[in-house]
A and B are shown apart, each in its own frame.
Chain A
Amino acid sequence: MVEVPISKDKWGGKVGAVELGADAASGGTRDQLEVGGQGCMPFLEFEGCALNRPLIAGEVLDDASELHHAVKAQFGDAVKDPALWAKAWIDKGADLICLRLVSTNPEERDATPEEAAATVKKVLEATKAPLIVYGCGQEEKDAKVLEAVSNISARERLLLGQAEEGAYKSTAAAAMANEHAIIAFSNLDINLAKQIVILLTDYGVKKDNIIIDPLMAPLGMGLEYSYSVNERIRLAALAGDTMLQVPMLCDCTEAWKCREATDENPTWGDATVRGTWWEATTAIAALLSGADILILRSPAAMYVVREALDGLRGGN
């Protein structure tokens, strides 16, 4: 038999690695995880090194009133307490936690920055996993909330979300003050992804503190589009574009917002199964396009993704 040669791409560039969480040696109280560091396209390790496996972050909300019942059912009463919820995620096998402080939204519950910081403290005490923290998305409030969060968790090396064009200074300042990492968000565009990294580094944030989020559109809402943007970002990074040589985060929870994923319709099958697979499909596409961290809402989806991930990595 003639052996078919495997064609290999040679890459000049390499994605940088970012440390999340700080252990005792680094002055913190948690596990320390390294994310990124890829020197090849996803799962093509024979072309270069893939230092770290992609991480899965389990989503925790500080107000679960809007949470889909299919997700609620998997956690039971734990959804009433972010600390218990976070612990449940880690028990189920998540690598880290993504805490969203939705209660701080001034148009709804309007929880104070101090309350929000107290929640973060509780979650930090409940598990040893690294923590991603988002505010509510309202710029002015987030500035205050993230400042309080940053101060209460000094030295824990959180990943703070998020900085975007036109609203990055306060998040960047909050991250810089206590050496947390920061999520650089951009809207489905390779050049905007690059621009926000330039803006942040120009502001004084070090590149090994930045993780980009180029917006993962879920299945049915433009997944193909995200896939190609993500892939191009990673290709550009490997080709040597230094401003894109940062790890990539894909938030897959938006999948639960698709009508097709969750609407009750007798001909579409069980909505719980459908929602799970909707999120899992989105997440697997994200992994293939180059994601280094996934944010997931449903543990059932996580199990699917884990299995796929293990398979793609050849069982390790």
Chain B
Amino acid sequence: MVMKADDGPIKNATLCELALRGGEIACKLARKSLEGALARHGEAGTVEYPDTAYELPVVFGWDGAEVRTLSDLGPVLARADGKLDGAGLDGALAAGDALMVSAEIIEALKYAEVPRPYEGTDYCGFIPDRVLRSLGLALVDDTIPGVAVLLGQAADVDSLVRLVRDLQAKGLLIIAAGGVIEQLKGKGVRMGLDLMLYPVGHGTQVVHALNFAVRAALSFGAVQRGDRDRLQAFLAKRLKAFVLHFGPIDEITAGAAFAALLHGIPIVTDQDVEGVPDKLVSQPEPSRMLQTAFELRDIKVKASKVDVPVAFGPAFEGETVRRPETYIEAGGAAKTMAYELLRARGEDDVEDGRITVVGKDLDEFPEGSVTPIAVLVDVFGKKMLEDFETVLERRIHLYLNFAEGLWHTGQRNIIWIRISKNAFRSGFRFHHIGEILVTKMKEEFGNIVSRVQVTIITDAQEMRRHLPEALEVYAKRDHRLEDLTDEAVDTYYSCLMCQSFAPDHVCVITPERLGLCGAINWLDARTGKEIVPSGPNQPIPKRATIDLAKGQWEGVNATILELTRGKIERFNAYSLMEDPMTSCGCFECIVAMTADVQAVIVVNREHQGMTPVGMKFSTLAGSIGGGRQTPGFIGVGRKYLTSKKFISAEGGFLRIAWMPKELKEAMRKELERRAEELGEKGFVDKIADETITTDAQGLMDWMVKVDHPALRMPPLLS
């Protein structure tokens, strides 16, 4: 019986039924073969595959029995037969088990009759140990990214050949079983044990793919005879094998499929099946089967070098392209429309590696031109979240600057790009921007995104068509950031990056208090956790609130205690005076209580002069760094100054009485916005700087003179 998906998807129940029958057929066949062999050779007749240390590997690994002679096979087959009374999914898996053992017996018996049963055919049959050894550990340490088992008969031979070429280009090991062998042969694809494409054969011969996988585990995973659990664990994790199945499903195929599932090997079929998520997946489009399989097995093919005609690397990050050297310019001073947008899209909307240029390419512009430009990046990945978009999008700036002769600044719709004459002469064109982004995004964010496609638009009309979406997304993100409050989330993140030199320091990163180095905000930390799951950013569940005003939570305290190994028990996120957060030494700014305990000063790392607390930045840094809690002093990131949670336990933003002029001017816009939010327009000019005073008395006089709001607050220390 053969199942075709003529009317609706094939139900799992039907597949299970098929597999059960496949198991029965295989067992019967094996019984018959065994009886024949016993009649010819007697119980003492030897049974073995050529060149292997693992007898009958499937039996060795899964059943555990030692098989030397024909008499050993009876009990093994009886055990297999005994598995054929189940039902449902478990029954089908057991049937797969029975089928593979039977198939192994059938195949081994062929070798008992003639030493080389497949000599003179197109099939290699049993893959000897020496092939496995020659591949070596490369098979399990990801040097060979995976093993593809092609099974069945493809509807379209040309796309099958393209698929094989793609697999070969990516360095995968290929095992072919069924009609695909003849199809590939007909198209002149060479196969053989020395070509990393093994045509094992038809029907029960598919077991040679399985016994190969089993031996990989036995020899590279030090799995012992019959240790099914470790065998399964190793196969599921280390040997990144998958099945690509084509065409109608018969009983043997169904049984073999369940045997594969038993091995932790997922199946992608071109048939319309009901399927099991992550295990049995339908993908009718041949050109997409591979991508689907890669995503199922989390196979990452090492990104090749960035394919651009100019030098590429961090060395060029700081390079500036000056106007006289510029071939073309977009945005910024060119005053053309320019924007970039990275979006997480659905599986079907992203074709990995696709780069499209809409509008004129670089060589259609004369030297010295200006152009509008849009850089649209679409990504897909199972773990990709909308929240990660901004983190990835911000990298566009970095990656593009890596290219020699390419200069990029700004973000969103205020970008400014220049491409140099030299880059143009070297052959740089707009699609190379896509090459850079596709390669680098997958290289750095491979744990999150599996597909990247890039569209470069230089056609103004087309750009205007996409602009509303971009603006809408930017607005949505701003909104999200505004909504992203400490109250709105139930998880914060730790950052332990600095523990190497400040052993007891832990940054607790909340949406409204970024890391004190200024480099890592809550979204970055969240993304960081996905990129390096065992890395320095780990989630902290907030759990019950202990003190809302000071910012103290049970979960945070528990984590701090653990991560400082018992040194620090408590921590207030919003307080300068009571159990404040520790500092490593990387803080962008220091916030310090003034001598009259009425206000705070802020001093940034760049400021070298004296401050009204009688210490310079360097002296202050020395006394608060190194993971200590120093009430009255904290190290912070600049952006925290304008956060609603800035020392909110002690009056917050309006406590600031002094900061260096340079910092004040650099942050003026944000400072003014925050002051207005608090109904204190003009407050920023009440903040003194070094041109006004650098001593305690001077600051007090100034505060009185300008009627500084901090004077009306209770003292910091009582």
**Chain B residues in 8 Å Cβ range of A179:** 222
Among A176, A195, A236, point to the contact of B220 (Cβ < 8 A): A176
A173 within 8 A of B: yes
Residue of A nearest to B140 (CB): A173
Q: Which of B141, B497, B499, B565 contacts A172 (CB 8 A)?
A: B141
Contact A173 B137 (CB under 8 A): yes
Which residues, 129 to 145 on B, are CB-close (under 8 Å) to A? Answer: 136-137, 140-143
Whole-angstrom distance between the Cβ of B305 and the nearest chain A Cβ: 16
In the complex, the answer to whether A177 meets B222 with C-beta atoms within 8 Å is yes
Please name all residues of chain B whose beta carbon is closer than 8 Å to the beta carbon of A111 when the two chains form the complex.
Answer: none
Question: What's the A-B contact tally at a CB cutoff of 8 Å?
Answer: 59
Stretch from A88-96, A128-136, A198-206, A249-257 forming part of the interface with B: A198-206
**In chain A between 191 and 236, which residues have their CB closer than 8 angstroms to a CB of chain B?**
191-192, 195, 198-199, 202, 204, 228-229, 232, 235-236
Chain B residues contacting A147 (CB-CB under 8 Å) are: 136-137
A204 touches B496 (CB 8 A): no
- Tell me whether A174 is interfacial, beta carbon within 8 Å: yes
A190-B500 contact, Cβ under 8 Å, with A143-B141, A236-B565:
yes
Contacts of A198 in B (CB 8 A): 534
Q: Does chain A have a CB within 8 A of B535?
A: yes
Task: List B177-202 residues whose CB lies under 8 Å from chain A.
Answer: none
Secondary structure at chain A's binding surface: helix, strand, loop or mixed? Answer: helix
**Is B359 engaged at the interface, CB distance under 8 Å to the other chain?**
no
> Does B234 contact A190, Cβ atoms closer than 8 Å?
no
Closest residue of B by beta carbon distance from A228: B503
Name the interface size band of chain B.
Answer: 20 to 34
- Say yes or no: is B536 at the interface (Cβ < 8 Å to chain A): yes
> Given the interface contacts A190-B499, A191-B496, does A239 sit within 8 Å of B143 by beta carbon?
no
Decide: A204 and B238 in contact? CB cutoff 8 A: yes
Question: A286 at the A/B interface (Cβ < 8 Å)?
Answer: no
Say whether chain B's binding surface is mostly helix, strand, loop, or mixed: loop
Once the chains are docked, how many angstroms separate the CA of A5 from the CA of B221? Answer: 53
Bitwise, B221-262 to A at CB < 8 A (1) or not (0) is: 110000000000110011000000000000000000000000
B566 lies within 8 A of chain A by Cβ:
yes
Asked if A169 is at the interface (CB within 8 A of a chain B CB), the reply is yes
Which residue of chain A has the shortest Cβ distance to B222 in the bound complex?
A179
Q: In the complex, A147→B139 CA distance in Å?
A: 12
In the bound complex, CA of A169 to CA of B238 (Å): 10
Determine the chain A residues whose CB is within 8 A of the CB of B233 once the complex forms. Answer: 204
Bound: A192/B534 CA distance, A: 10
Closest Cβ of chain B to A172, distance in Å, is: 7
- Cα distance, A190 to B503, chains bound together (Å): 8
Contact of A192 among B222, B500, B503 (CB under 8 A): B500
B219, CB-defined interface residue at 8 Å: yes
A195 nearest in chain B by CB position:
B534
Q: For the complex, give the distance between the alpha carbons of A195 and B219 in Å.
A: 27
| Chain B hits for A191, CB < 8 A | 496-497, 499-500, 536
A102 at interface by CB-CB < 8 Å: no
B222 and A176 contact, CB distance less than 8 A: yes
| Contact, CB under 8 Å: B500 / A178 | no
Measured CA separation A250–B143 after assembly (Å): 30
13 A-B pairs (CB sep. < 8 Å): A143-B137, A143-B141, A144-B136, A147-B136, A170-B137, A173-B140, A176-B222, A177-B137, A178-B222, A190-B503, A191-B496, A202-B534, A241-B565
Leading 8 A-B pairs by shortest Cβ distance: A189-B500, A169-B141, A173-B141, A173-B137, A198-B534, A170-B141, A177-B220, A147-B137
Residues of A within 8 A of B (CB): 143-144, 147, 169-170, 172-174, 176-179, 188-192, 195, 198-199, 202, 204, 228-229, 232, 235-236, 239, 241
Q: A177-B221, A191-B500, A195-B535 are in contact. List 4 more A-B contacts (CB 8 A).
A: A172-B141, A176-B221, A190-B500, A204-B234
